Amino acid sequence: MKVLKFGGTSVADSKSINKVISILNNNDDNLFIIVSAFGGVTNLLQECLNLKGKQTEKILKKIESRHLEVIDNLSTLDAQSSLKSFLKEKLNELEDILDAISTIDEVTQKTVSKVLTLGEILSSSIIFEILKQKSFDISYIDSREVIYSKSYDNNEVLDNDRSSISIKNKLDLIKSKLIIAPGYICSNENNEISNLGRGGSDYSAAIFAKYSNAKSLEIWTDVSGVYSANPKIVKKALPIEYLTYKEAMELSFFGAKVIYFPTLQPLIEENIPVYIKNTFEPNDEGTCISNSTKLDKDEIVKGISHIENISILNFEGSGMVGVPGFSKRFFESLSTNKINVIMITQASSEFSICIAVDSNDAISAKKVIDKEFEFEISQNRINQAQIESNLSNIAIVGDKMKSKKGVSGRLFNSLGQNNINIRAIAQGASERNISIIIDEANTKKALNSLHETFFEENLKDVHIFITGVGNVGGYLIEQIKIQKEFIATNLKINLKVLGISNSKKMLVSESEIDLDNWKTLLANSNISSDSDVFQKTILDLNLRNSLFVDNTASNLIPNTYREYLKNGVGIITCNKIANSDTFINYEELKSLSRDNNSAFLYETNVGAALPVISTLNNLINSGDKIIKIEAVLSGTLNYIFNNFQEMDTFHQIVSTAVDLGYTEPDPKIDLCGVDVSRKILILARESGYKLEFDDINKNHFLPEEAINSKSKDEFLSSLKRNKDHFNAILKNAQEKNSRLKFVAKLEKGIATVGLESVSAEHPFYNLVGSDNITVFHTERYKDSPLVVKGAGAGGEFTASGVFADIIKASQNG
């Protein structure tokens, strides 16, 4: 015989019950069928109790309609009348009970059982009649006549002896191929109707499986087994093929809702395997729970479960140390007051105890503990219990964890990389689970991070939010789109763009943005651009492996960096404002990055796609000493002066550079040397010098009129009016057989920028186009300096540098 239990959405309506009938038709074994109430009926009955029987007419109509839908669609016309009469009779009984509750304004435990068990009585009776009409060889057992509870230590527990005898005696009288019984319900020692509590229908099925000597129990629900994590929170969660009883009990205790741990105890005693199956996908493998580990694959961690709405109580004081019986008093006081402890951790010094409880019990637990140790507290030997709330408990579970090194290290690393703080931790001697307490706001991020670590090592999701999608940003999105598949295949990184923002509109989604259609999606967005709202939306999503990418030249966007870094969101930026602001600000951002495990990468601040900053960092980190840095750091200015070979053409060349996107949005920033000054300042700071922007010696070549211009057009016009000034500069260089280069230098902590005429012997002389060059003179590279040279301007090159930083951050995280 096999026992099959159907519940929840498996018996929600006529459509789902037809699925059940199909499953029964495809089964050749003798079957014992346990059914729960029709979907949602138990909640409606509970609602009637919550209202104390008042104004329940609409609820009763809903209950009636749920059952009539099944009767009308599945029962024969001849049988419908008797079933509807039965339904009406039971609903009239329910109305009488609710009227009585309303009159006395009190709900007793006996009344609760009478009301809540009605759903199972109705569903089992109706399905029994429908199956009979379809010519199934079937008998009905009323669970109230065979399953009994008894009072033990002020709790109602299963009366195994009485239930065993009753079930076996009843089964001896039945010869049909199928048997059906209602789940959840039983009778107490006074033969009054009662129930088996939370998960009672599964428990009923396990009891019947045990005492019918069933070869297996199948629990049919609306999911394809026990999942590696809650699939509503972790979208990549997968069904677990095999679990041991102990693994299943651990997962169940710590929040996995597919099966409740009391269900497993009768099955463990008789070594009966249980299968969790999907009524709507009956061919899916589902989950097998048994005593065997031979069926296991090599999974170390089998699943991750969690409980929300947790509080921890911290109880500490020197009066605890070395005092026999202290823990006994502590836990006995909680037990006497029926307060369940979810997790315990105690310092080896015996100076403190920390427990986790349901938040609804936290205040009661504190009062109980403080009362028990009232004397010690009055003597200042122990402090009053302290409550911390809004927490979650997360457990990773697996029998094989004890034989595998590094599991806890991977757990800590995964959470640490995502800036998730662990408030408490516990691990049993069996090493079957590791339980942690974290801030409830980080639950989703933590579950996804841990699931990625232990179950998705082949592909790591990285969530990207981009602000600035013009020249550089547009190229960046195109590069991500083209390379996405390659990076996923070769680097095992899944780049997901979830946010895009320009100066007018923004778009943020929990799912990937279609990069083939992003311009239209952004244009059609009804959300106005706001950097603070953009940030709040990103932080509220609280996704693991998140990166904020700043492709703007905005003075305002860098003000948001601190909050991103504090919350574990990495920063990738080509915007030089933050790192060239005050040294205190620069130092704070670097510190926030280190302290919160948040990437802060800005290679493109200096050399677009050229590895200037990383080369400098590698030299310093490997112990080399920087003597001098010489550089042409503006591809824009190099392009301009390389093309400025004829008189009266300076303003035209600058205009062309603007049109090509080589300059900043305000070209004066480039030509005033502001951009180069920022770059050499950043290199100076990376070299260890605490310089400010005003410490840079700037040798301007622009006339005052150009420097004082108020707009881009006014600036370009001033260049044309001052052509003689630029002609004189060119003539002076040509007379010396030199070329004009805008050079930045750093030597002995002094940084300078300015236009220079370089001779043919100088390494900068042959620098062509918009190329940049940086020359590092170091103790190691004294005789032959280290040179980094290449394209230093243009949106496509800068975008590729930003892209490289995204990949670097993704690999390091």
Point out the residues that are catalytic.
679
Type and span of the H or E element at 303: strand 303-316
563-591 core/surface letters (b: 16 or more CB in 10 A; e: else)? bbbebbbbbbbbbbbbbbbebebbebbee
Contacts of 324 (CB under 8 A, 6+ apart): none
Type and span of the H or E element at 331: helix 326-336
- Strands 287-290, 242-244: pairing is parallel
CA–CA separation, 426 and 434 (whole Å)? 6
The number of CA neighbours under 13 Å toward the Cβ of 699 is 11
Judge whether 684 and 749 are in contact, CB under 8 Å: yes
Which residue reads 């190691």 in tokens?
Answer: 780
Neighbours of 14 (CB within 10 A): 15
Burial grade of 535 (CB within 10 A; 0-12, 13-18, 19 or more): buried
First-to-last CA distance in the chain? 53
**Bridge partners, residue 777, by sequence:** 628
- Residue type for 170, please? K
Neighbours of 150 (CB within 10 A): 16
Of 222, 156, 227, 225, the closest CA to residue 188 belongs to: 156
Judge whether 682 and 580 are in contact, CB under 8 Å: yes
Token reading at 25: 């038709």
Contacts of 560 (CB under 8 A, 6+ apart): 531, 532, 535, 548
Among left, alpha and beta (phi > 0; psi -120 to 50; other), residue 431 is left
Token reading at 714: 């006014």
Which residue reads 């990207």 in tokens?
Answer: 464
What sign does the CA torsion over 703, 708, 713, 717 have? negative
Q: State whether residue 233 is helix, strand or coil.
A: coil
CA separation, residue 341 to residues 265, 355, 374, 468 (Å): 20, 7, 21, 51
Judge whether 158 and 196 are in contact, CB under 8 Å: yes
CA–CA separation, 35 and 210 (whole Å)? 17
CA–CA separation, 552 and 67 (whole Å)? 61
Type and span of the H or E element at 142: none
Q: Using the 8-state DSSP alphabet, how is residue 359 labeled?
A: G
Backbone angles phi, psi at 626, to 5 degrees: -80, 125
SS (H, E, C) 579-610: CCCCHHHHHHHHHHHHHCCCCEECCHHHHCCC
- Strands 697-699, 750-758: pairing is parallel
Of 79, 44, 38, 36, the closest CA to residue 61 belongs to: 44
Q: State whether residue 244 is helix, strand or coil.
A: strand
Among left, alpha and beta (phi > 0; psi -120 to 50; other), residue 41 is alpha
CA–CA separation, 441 and 435 (whole Å)? 17
Judge whether 216 and 224 are in contact, CB under 8 Å: no
In what side-by-side order are the strands of the sheet with 178-182? 138-140, 178-182, 31-35, 2-6, 216-221, 274-278, 287-290, 242-244
